[in-house]
Chain A
Amino acid sequence: MKPELVLTIVLGLTAALFFLIGTAQRSRRVSMVFAGLLVGGAAAAAHFDAFWPMVLLGLLGLLTAFSSIDFIDISWRLRAGITAMLCVLGFVVMWPTLSKASDGKLPLPAYVRDRVNFQLVSGLDLRGGLRLVYTVDVDEAIKDKRDAYYEDMRRELAKIFGFHQGDEAPSEQAYEKLREKVTLEAPRRPANVIKVTVLPNTDPGKLDQRFLDRFAEMSFNRSEDRRNYEFQIRTAVETSIRERAVSQAREIIHRRVDELGLREAAISTRDEDIIVEVPGEDEKGFATIREIISQTARLEFKLLDDETDFFGEVQSTAKEEALPEGLEFRQEAVSLGVDEAGDVRSGRTTFAVLNKLPDETMQQTLQRFREWVATLPVPPDREVGFEVEYTLVDEVTAKQVESGYRTYLLKSRAEITGDMIRDAAAQPDQSQGSMGGWHVALTFTDQGGRVFERITGANIKRRFAIILDNKVESAPVIQTRIPGGHATITLGSADPEAQIRDARKLELVLRSGALPAPISPTNEQRIGPTLGRDAIDLAIQGALGGSILVLLFMLIYYQRAGLIADVAVVMNLFLQLSILAMFGAAMTLPGIAGLALTIGMSVDSNVLINERIREELASGKSPRAAIEIGYRRAFSAIVDGHFTTVIAGVVLAQYGSGPLKGFAVTLIVGVCCSVFTGVTVSRVMFDLWVRFLGRQGRLDMG
């Protein structure tokens, strides 16, 4: 029988029992009926396989039922019930971890395994993990800088020749006129060079000293007739670009890994390499981390050039045998902006599609496509963008698969770049006619918002491309001018699961910022614990031995009251660990320091209370009064002591990084648990004890 069914039946029967008691006993009718409803809800949740709602509803139902029993008073019953409920909850959360720690002696049913995903991860120092080495492709950063100089130089020349004024970017027409006077070339290799040629019809003296001084960060060689220049970025400048690229990449990787949770990865650099060490041993987690780290996340918005039917020309002139296998040309109707009367101009343009061959990966297809396009005579200031092409494989379910890539002809200049993005958020698509997919909403910076408004205003009814890491994500038509600094990126994939995943990843990488240059993995190793397995075994022995000694000491010193304190301390540790497991925190030595501190504080709370009760007993108070006053007096010290520690924890969690954060979270969680177990849990036991003592009894506190 399936466990869902068993649970449904058991919970359903319990609910029925509660209802029965409720009808039979008038005095508890309200609470028993309410408990029955809650447990009935849990049974329904079990039937629909909603695990956590089932657990919570079931426990709340039992709590309600328990609080209606006629025992001590309602306040005690509630406190005891909540304590028991938290214990059960903590156990469910810790089940997978406990089962693993006991080497399977505690069985882990498949039903629980599939539904409880919490696992207490051991940190790098205790368990080891994955060591990844990435090399930063600093040449790409240098090329970027060169391209920035290229833009500056072009604008400066356009000004010198009088085609342009002001600080705004010059128009296409200005550059066209400039090309008749001077040509600039930014070759792919070497990536740090700009070649400038002054055409014969132009006075070479126009490139005066002022112009050359403006680009003093580049050295140049010039031909005798002063018509050919070769500018090269100076070595010192190049070195600083390299160093900055590496340190920035490190920062950004750090931020990304931090956003993934409290994993506490260790990140260091070595020349142009970045070394990332991530704790854990779960392959799925590693796959996510690899993907998140190595995504460059370079976002660009570029306008499309649909007027030039570049691929139409290629189609008519290219020889059949020169075309790569799987290539086809298609046509699409496009709108080409609005004319003076405000009517939409429409046209047709050709694009190329390269279909994936059966034994090829998508990456290889793209590589093949890029190689072929590199042989084509792409017009100046234009480039070809690639987008994943999907094919419908199932009419009914609308299931699509990636079948290849298609092209767009883009204007080379990136109108908007990733640094103009302030924030990104993954959101469900609620626009009309959508299939309930996900998109990523972008918020621009003030400057980015202005640029976006200007661009969209000037290019209504034209297309623009959103490009992520050199791949076109989408190429929508601009419908109106878009003010307000917001835009959305729709994700290509048709599978909703994949869409959510992609949207979340995109959100994370856009938020943490783009890497200044692409990075590529060069080495990957599984590493063992940095502390050494022998040391860890000893540490576990030590921790266990130490804890037992503490518990024994308390027991001897306070006798029965010591037992109560022991239970409270052990429960504190247990609750704390289960909350940390819920956060997915990694246990490291700093984390254990936090744990040790809160255990110490929890012992301290119990000592404070017990000493107070002793004092009150010594002054001749009855047990009940002594406990009452002892708790009330000790309470202010416990709360103040804990609260100041929480202050330290909150500040550290807010401003600290890496290991500081891990320590802080452990501390805050621990302190909250410690107050709860110190004040509430131990009191529940004391009250129970006093109840059994009777009127003449004596509190025996050693």
Chain B
Amino acid sequence: MRLFSSSKIYDFMGVKHWFFALSFGLIAFSLALLLGKVPGIQPKFGTDFKGGTEVEVSFSQHTTPAEIRSAVTAAGFDGPEVVPVENSRQPNHYLIRVHEVSTLTEDQENKVERALCFTPNLPETECPKERRATEVKFSPGGDKITARYREAPDLAFVRERLASVPNVKLRPGDNNPFVQNARDHKVEIQLQSRGDQLVDGLRQALGAKAPEHALRSEWIGPRAGAQLRDSAIKSLSITLIFIMLYVAFRFDLRFAPGGVVALFHDAIGMVGIWILLGKEINLTTVAAALMIVGYSVNDTVVIYDRVRENLSKLRGASFRHLINVSTSEMLGRTLLTNATVQISLLAFFVWGTGTLKDFALSLTIGMVLGTYSTIYVALPLTEWLDRVVLQRVGAGNKRTGPGKGAPNPA
């Protein structure tokens, strides 16, 4: 079976300007998206990066993760993570994580601080000295306030004062606020938050088997913080340098920038498209981006290899013709490899849910970009560099010799 005859030569470079502009636009647009500079579209970072609200619930009857997931999504939460807790006493026990949080505005925070007598220079009549908080902290999820006092605090006073703050509601219950640590008079005040909204949504969708209250509902910090981001950026930059050196050494100096620009193009472009599709960026997206980096380099180098070989075979031909010939010769292989990987991803599209489907989708985007960028980013850039170098040298002979390390034709 054969899909392409290897003898036909297509004029890939004829339309390169259009695609060059497209790629440039893609990179610029993706960077703007990633930095949140495009009005209307903000990158959505998942709980992995941003933290979020974690709710622990226990159902009275058998409930599947899928049911919970759809109930939470119906309540307006995006991409919840539902983790079963294996507990023999409570078989239907779950942790639910969503990235939505209920942040307090600065104005609200100021009002709360005033209500807790933390704002300096309040009159003695409003805030007697012994009732002043020495520290007030807001949880980043806006669901909890902690305050410290010098002496045992008057909880009734705290409750009464907080009731006067508009749009800040305490979670109902006798045990709120409560003294969390009697040693340094630490008081915890729980607020109505997205967690409560989530439990309400569960009850609406699942009825009586959903609990009245969450066992626990609070903000959690991100798993992958600045540390992961920094190490990802650092390793990507070092990788680019090393790959450039390797390509320059194995092929030719002209080939090196094209490879890494294509790689950068693919990684950034994939993230940009991802944001544009309104998908959530999480650790899985990072994994997909890394895979794309690997694939993109591989694909570019394989085509480069053919160009290198043809450099010595077709002496005297223009670089542009050389690229057209090499790309056309490799077209069968390129499509075949892409097809096989796509076939293996197909199943995830058909059967996969949530994360897996997203994962397969991001890989597909990346594969297409990786293949495209070899032809329309890496090669034209190499051609352009070749022209610039040739012009500067101003040499009469049109063709340079074979690249270093090119195999001898047998």
Residues of A at under 8 Å CB distance from B? 125, 128, 131, 139, 189-190, 235, 238-239, 251, 254, 266-271, 275, 525-535, 538-539, 541-547, 549-550, 553-554, 556-559, 589-590, 593-594, 596-597, 599-601, 603-604, 607-608, 611, 615, 618, 629, 632-633, 636-637, 640-645, 647-649, 651-652, 654-660, 663, 667, 702
Instruction: Give the residue among B2, B86, B336, B344 with the most A Cβ atoms within 10 A.
Output: B344
Q: Which residues of B contact A532 (CB under 8 A)?
A: 65-66, 69, 82, 353-354
Tell yes or no: B339 within 8 A of A by CB.
yes
- B372, chain A: closest CB distance, angstroms: 16
Tell yes or no: B137 within 8 A of A by CB.
yes
Q: Is the CB of B82 within 8 A of A549?
A: no
Q: Is the CB of A534 within 8 A of B65?
A: yes
Q: Is the CB of A640 within 8 A of B301?
A: yes
- Which residue of B is nearest A535, CB measured? B353
Q: Which residues of A contact B309 (CB under 8 A)?
A: 633
Query: Which of B10-18, B122-130, B230-238, B380-388 contacts its partner?
Result: B230-238
Instruction: Give the residue among B250, B290, B352, B353 with the most A Cβ atoms within 10 A.
Output: B290
Q: Which residues of B contact A611 (CB under 8 A)?
A: 6, 332-333, 336
- Complex CA–CA separation, A391 to B341 (angstroms): 66
- Complex CA–CA separation, A645 to B297 (angstroms): 7
Q: Which residues of B contact A558 (CB under 8 A)?
A: 1
A sample of 28 inter-chain contacts (CB < 8 A) reads: A128-B83, A239-B135, A268-B220, A271-B146, A526-B87, A527-B95, A528-B83, A532-B69, A535-B355, A538-B356, A546-B348, A554-B340, A593-B287, A593-B288, A593-B291, A599-B344, A640-B302, A641-B297, A641-B301, A648-B297, A651-B238, A651-B242, A652-B235, A659-B224, A659-B283, A660-B232, A663-B291, A667-B294
B227-251 contact mask (Cβ, 8 Å, vs A): 1 or 0: 1100110110011001100110010
B21-32 contact mask (Cβ, 8 Å, vs A): 1 or 0: 000000000000
Q: Is the CB of A541 within 8 A of B351?
A: yes
Tell yes or no: B59 within 8 A of A by CB.
no
Q: Which residues of A contact B234 (CB under 8 A)?
A: 655
Q: Is the CB of B352 within 8 A of A535?
A: yes
B117-151 contact mask (Cβ, 8 Å, vs A): 1 or 0: 00000000000000000110101000010101000
Instruction: Give the residue among A251, A557, A649, A655 with the most B Cβ atoms within 10 A.
Output: A655
Q: Which residues of B contact A647 (CB under 8 A)?
A: 239, 242-243, 246
Q: Find B218's partner among A270, A547, A640 (CB 8 Å cutoff).
A: A270
- Complex CA–CA separation, A648 to B355 (angstroms): 25
Q: Is the CB of B2 within 8 A of A702?
A: yes
Tell yes or no: B347 within 8 A of A by CB.
yes
Q: Is the CB of B298 within 8 A of A590?
A: no
- A124, chain B: closest CB distance, angstroms: 9
- A197, chain B: closest CB distance, angstroms: 22
Q: Which residues of B contact A275 (CB under 8 A)?
A: 220
- Complex CA–CA separation, A546 to B344 (angstroms): 4
Known: A532-B69, A647-B246. A539 touches B343 (CB 8 A): no
The list of the 4 closest CB pairs from A to B, nearest first, reads: A590-B287, A528-B84, A546-B344, A542-B347
Tell yes or no: B407 within 8 A of A by CB.
yes
Known: A535-B355, A647-B239. A270 touches B1 (CB 8 A): no
Known: A532-B69, A600-B341, A655-B231. A637 touches B291 (CB 8 A): no
Tell yes or no: B293 within 8 A of A by CB.
yes
Number of A-B contacts defined by CB within 8 Å:
260
Known: A541-B347, A652-B290. A603 touches B337 (CB 8 A): yes
- Complex CA–CA separation, A270 to B410 (angstroms): 66
- Which residue of B is nearest A238, CB measured? B135
Q: Which of B195-217 contact A (CB under 8 A)?
A: none
- Which residue of B is nearest A628, CB measured? B410
Q: A251-B227, A557-B1, A644-B246 are in contact. List 11 more A-B contacts (CB 8 A).
A: A268-B51, A549-B346, A603-B340, A629-B410, A640-B304, A641-B297, A648-B243, A655-B231, A658-B224, A659-B283, A663-B291
Q: Is the CB of B65 within 8 A of A660?
A: no
Q: Is the CB of B343 within 8 A of A553?
A: yes
Known: A549-B343, A633-B309, A633-B407. A596 touches B301 (CB 8 A): no
- Which residue of B is nearest A589, CB measured? B284
- Complex CA–CA separation, A534 to B348 (angstroms): 13
Q: Which residues of A contact B6 (CB under 8 A)?
A: 611, 615, 618
Instruction: Give the residue among A271, A611, A667 with the most B Cβ atoms within 10 A.
Output: A271
Q: Find B84's partner among A128, A139, A547, A643 (CB 8 Å cutoff).
A: A128
Q: Is the CB of A637 within 8 A of B355?
A: no
Q: Is the CB of A546 within 8 A of B359?
A: no
Q: Is the CB of A271 within 8 A of B293?
A: no
Q: Which residues of A contact B154 (CB under 8 A)?
A: none
- Which residue of B is nearest A232, CB measured? B150
- Complex CA–CA separation, A649 to B294 (angstroms): 8
- A271, chain B: closest CB distance, angstroms: 7
Q: Which residues of B contact A526 (CB under 8 A)?
A: 85-87
- Complex CA–CA separation, A190 to B149 (angstroms): 13
Q: Is the CB of B83 within 8 A of A604?
A: no
Tell yes or no: B345 within 8 A of A by CB.
yes
- Complex CA–CA separation, A596 to B348 (angstroms): 12
Q: Which residues of A contact B239 (CB under 8 A)?
A: 647-648, 651-652
- A523, chain B: closest CB distance, angstroms: 9
Q: Is the CB of B81 within 8 A of A530?
A: yes
Q: Is the CB of A538 within 8 A of B353?
A: yes
Tell yes or no: B35 within 8 A of A by CB.
no
- Which residue of B is nearest A588, CB measured? B287
Q: Is the CB of B184 within 8 A of A556?
A: no
- B130, chain A: closest CB distance, angstroms: 15
Q: Which residues of B contact A269 (CB under 8 A)?
A: 220-221
Q: Find A594's partner among B242, B286, B291 (CB 8 Å cutoff).
A: B291
Instruction: Give the residue among A189, A270, A546, A659 with the most B Cβ atoms within 10 A.
Output: A546
Known: A535-B352, A644-B246. A659 touches B286 (CB 8 A): yes
Q: Find B227's partner among A645, A652, A657 (CB 8 Å cutoff).
A: A657
